């Protein structure tokens, strides 16, 4: 069954604290308080208490031992235990039904809406079995409808609050990983994506291109036309770079100031074409008082020019520096790394020295 576990740590703590708290409560209400103590009942309650205490201890202090599927199964086990104890004790009181709140809250908070709905259906069926076997038909029907509606409304409220919290978290995450001026990724987002992309490329033997971009004479634009126009220039450049980041996994990021990078899952030839396309798109812009800004671009490709994330970044920066040194407004491709001397050759050089 497909399901969504939203917060494994929260689910772990919820299960742990519930089971640790439920063990003494069940022992008190099932053995200590009742006037009669049938041996079979005492044995069943005692085993249940031991199971709860042991399960709570494992969930609290050894959660890594527990398979992920357990966090889906646990609300259904809770329903079975609660319904079984209520049926065995012929207890259809409101207090006995309050125990159903835990699987409802757990499913509504940590699992998908589909699983939460299934939990509600099973709770309703479990309570109906107890109510209609214990109470009169009219009383049982009234009690069953009341409990089902109350628990359903509780689940709806909790799920609504959870969804609102998820949306707020997504907004905060988006703001934390995006440049506020241009809307492209920021340095923090780029650093993480570069590491993941290099791992992907090396594992599959794929090519990965890193394009470093600087706006030529950006300070002059700010000094001559003002920072407002400078901001517009940054936005225009960011939009031009977005044009070549067509794949879902491609990334455009602003590292700071007028420095941008584009991470493309492509080879050296396609990366060069992407740089030309950016220049063509930018040349067509006529909305800036300063005219289309010029770009200096450096390109490095893994595995042609580097084998690690740091080497790829350094190679792309070196190519960008070369483009600037040769007069700006141009694209430079990184150079293949110099071959390392073999151990035998290194020994010969050392001996000659």
Quote the CA–CA distance of 49 and 316 in Å, as a whole number: 63
Q: Tell me, what's the pLDDT at 341? A: 61
The rounded mean pLDDT for the chain is: 88
Assign 193 a pLDDT band (cuts: 50, 70, 90): very high
DSSP-assigned beta bridge partners for residue 253: 185, 261
Burial class (CB in 10 A: 0-12, 13-18, 19+), 37: exposed
pLDDT band for position 344 (cuts 50, 70, 90): low
Q: Nearest Cα to 16, choosing from 65, 83, 61? A: 61
In this prediction, residue 334 has a pLDDT band, given cuts at 50, 70 and 90, of very high
Burial of 167-191, coded b for 16+ CB within 10 Å and e otherwise, reads: eeeeeeeeeebbbeebebbbeebbe
Question: pLDDT value at position 349?
Answer: 47
The answer for residues whose C-beta is within 8 angstroms of residue 12's C-beta and 6 or more apart is: 59, 60, 63, 66, 71
Domains and CATH numbers, the chain: 8-176 (no CATH), 187-333 (3.30.70.270)
DSSP 207-246: -EEEEEEEETTHHHHHHHH-HHHHHHHHHHHHHHHHHH--
Question: Three-state SS across 303-341?
Answer: CCCCCCHHHHHHHHHHHHHHHHHCCCCCEEECCCCCCCC
Q: How far apart are CA 122 and CA 109, in angstroms?
A: 17
pLDDT band at 343 (very low <50, low <70, confident <90, very high): low
Contacts of 110 (CB under 8 A, 6+ apart): 5, 6, 7, 10, 11, 14, 71
How far apart CA 353 and CA 344 sit, in angstroms, is 14
Q: What gap in Å lies between CA 258 and CA 204, rounded to an integer?
A: 33
- Residues 6+ away with beta carbon under 8 Å from 267: 207, 209, 301
| Residue 251, strand partner residues | 263
Q: Which of 325, 317, 197 is nearest to 263 (CA)?
A: 197
pLDDT band at 86 (very low <50, low <70, confident <90, very high): confident
pLDDT digits (tens, 9 = 90+) for 228-285: 999 999 999 999 999 999 888 899 999 989 999 999 999 999 999 999 999 999 999 9
Residues in the chain: 353
Instruction: Output the CA torsion sign for 278, 283, 287, 289.
Output: positive
Q: Are the beta carbons of 100 and 128 closer than 8 angstroms?
A: no
Does the predicted TM-score (pTM) go above 0.75? no
């Amino acid at each position: 069954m497909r399901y969504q576990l939203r917060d494994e740590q929260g689910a772990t703590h919820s299960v742990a604290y519930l089971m640790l708290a439920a063990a003494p409560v069940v022992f008190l209400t099932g053995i200590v308080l009742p006037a009669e103590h049938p041996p079979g009942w005492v044995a069943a309650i005692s085993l249940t208490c031991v199971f709860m205490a042991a399960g709570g201890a494992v969930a609290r202090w050894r959660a890594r031992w527990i398979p992920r599927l357990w966090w889906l199964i646990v609300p259904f086990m809770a329903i079975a235990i609660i319904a079984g104890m209520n049926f065995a004790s012929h207890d259809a009181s409101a207090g006995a039904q309050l125990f159903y709140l835990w699987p409802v809250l757990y499913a509504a908070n940590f699992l998908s809406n589909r699983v939460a709905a299934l939990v509600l259906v099973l709770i309703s069926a479990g309570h109906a079995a107890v109510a209609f076997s214990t109470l009169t038909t009219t009383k049982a029907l009234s009690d069953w409808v009341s409990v089902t509606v109350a628990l359903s409304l509780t689940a709806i409220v909790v799920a609504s609050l959870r969804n609102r919290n998820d949306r707020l978290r997504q907004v905060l995450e988006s703001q934390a990983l995006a440049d506020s001026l241009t809307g492209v990724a920021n340095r923090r987002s780029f650093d993480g994506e570069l590491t993941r992309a290099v791992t992907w490329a090396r594992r599959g033997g794929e090519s990965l291109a890193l394009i470093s971009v600087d706006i030529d004479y950006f300070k002059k634009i700010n000094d001559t036309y003002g920072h407002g126009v400078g901001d517009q220039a940054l936005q225009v450049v960011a939009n031009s770079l977005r044009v070549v980041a067509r794949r879902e996994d491609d990334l455009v990021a602003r590292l700071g100031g007028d420095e941008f990078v584009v991470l493309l899952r492509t080879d050296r030839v396609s990366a060069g074409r992407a740089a030309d396309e950016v220049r063509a798109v930018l040349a067509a812009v006529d909305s800036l008082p300063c005219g289309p800004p010029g770009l200096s671009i450096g390109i490095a490709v893994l595995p042609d020019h580097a084998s690690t994330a740091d080497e790829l970044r350094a190679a792309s920066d070196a190519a960008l520096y070369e483009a600037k040194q040769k007069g700006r407004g141009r694209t430079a491709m990184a150079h293949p790394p110099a071959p390392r001397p073999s151990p035998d050759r290194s020994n010969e050089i050392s001996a000659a020295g």
